[in-house]
């Protein structure tokens, strides 16, 4: 880190990760072609892992099958201060490895966690939708190896 004064304490970095809902997953194909994609996620502190759902097919899945090493970025807060030509922000970078959850019961468990994290008030059709879409959904687990946080703000 070029400016060590901007390094965020580890507990604050995990707070940003815990409170975040969207991040950018970066990975690369076998030939080294980079690929980044925004997605929603949830973090499970007890497992030190991030989970997200996606289609069972596509470029993201292909990249992760070829190379399971990832980087994941979450921006917790950003505010442009135009009169000072500066941006205040809290950001976190995660490195880790991706694995696929294929067990049906485990997939349901993770989809329920996702619903509780991202749509806690929407329970009416939740079980029906999970049951209907289960075969078409992939759950990816990011096992976290490192978390670093950085911030720039006046307070």
Mean pLDDT (the chain, rounded): 88
Strand, coil or helix: 4: helix
Q: For residue 126, is it within any domain?
A: no
Per-residue DSSP letters for 100-121? EE--HHHHHHHHHHHHHHH-TT
Q: For residue 10, is it within any domain?
A: yes
Q: For residue 122, is it within any domain?
A: no
Q: For residue 47, is it within any domain?
A: yes
Q: For residue 112, is it within any domain?
A: no
Per-residue DSSP letters for 13-67? HHHHHHH--EEEEEEE-TT--EEEEEEE-EEEGGGTEEEEEEESSSHHHHHHHH-
Q: For residue 96, is it within any domain?
A: yes
Query: Quick one: which of 70, 60, 74, 66 has its CA closest to 98?
Result: 70
Task: Assign residue 49 the CATH number of its domain.
Answer: 2.30.110.10
Chain-centre distance for alpha carbon 73: 7
**More confident position, 154 or 72:** 72
Q: For residue 85, is it within any domain?
A: yes
- Give, to the nearest 10 degrees, the angle between helix 126-133 and helix 104-118: 140
| Confidence tier at 1 by pLDDT (50, 70, 90) | low
Query: Quick one: which of 30, 106, 25, 102 has its CA closest to 65?
Result: 30
The tens digit of pLDDT for each residue in 75-133 reads: 988 777 777 776 676 899 999 999 999 999 999 899 988 888 887 777 778 788 888 88
Structurally, the chain folds into a number of domains equal to 1
pLDDT value at position 60? 95
Domain that holds residue 77: 4-102+140-152
- CA-to-CA distance for 106 and 103, rounded, in angstroms? 5
Both tokens of 105, joined, read 């019961």
Q: For residue 116, is it within any domain?
A: no
């Amino acid at each position: 880190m070029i400016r060590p004064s901007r390094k965020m304490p580890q507990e604050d970095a995990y707070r940003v990760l815990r409170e975040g809902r969207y991040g950018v997953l970066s990975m690369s194909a076998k030939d080294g072609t980079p690929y980044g994609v925004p997605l929603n996620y949830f973090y499970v502190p007890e497992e030190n892992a991030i989970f997200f759902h996606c289609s069972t097919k596509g470029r993201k899945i292909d990249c992760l099958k070829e190379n399971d090493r990832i980087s994941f970025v979450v921006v917790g807060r950003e505010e442009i201060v135009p009169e000072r030509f500066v941006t205040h922000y809290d950001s976190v970078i995660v490195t880790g490895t991706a694995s696929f959850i294929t067990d049906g019961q485990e997939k349901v468990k993770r989809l329920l966690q996702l619903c509780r994290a991202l749509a806690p008030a929407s329970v009416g059709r939740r079980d029906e939708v999970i049951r209907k879409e289960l075969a078409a959904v992939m759950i990816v687990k990011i096992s976290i190896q490192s978390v670093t946080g950085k911030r720039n703000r006046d307070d």
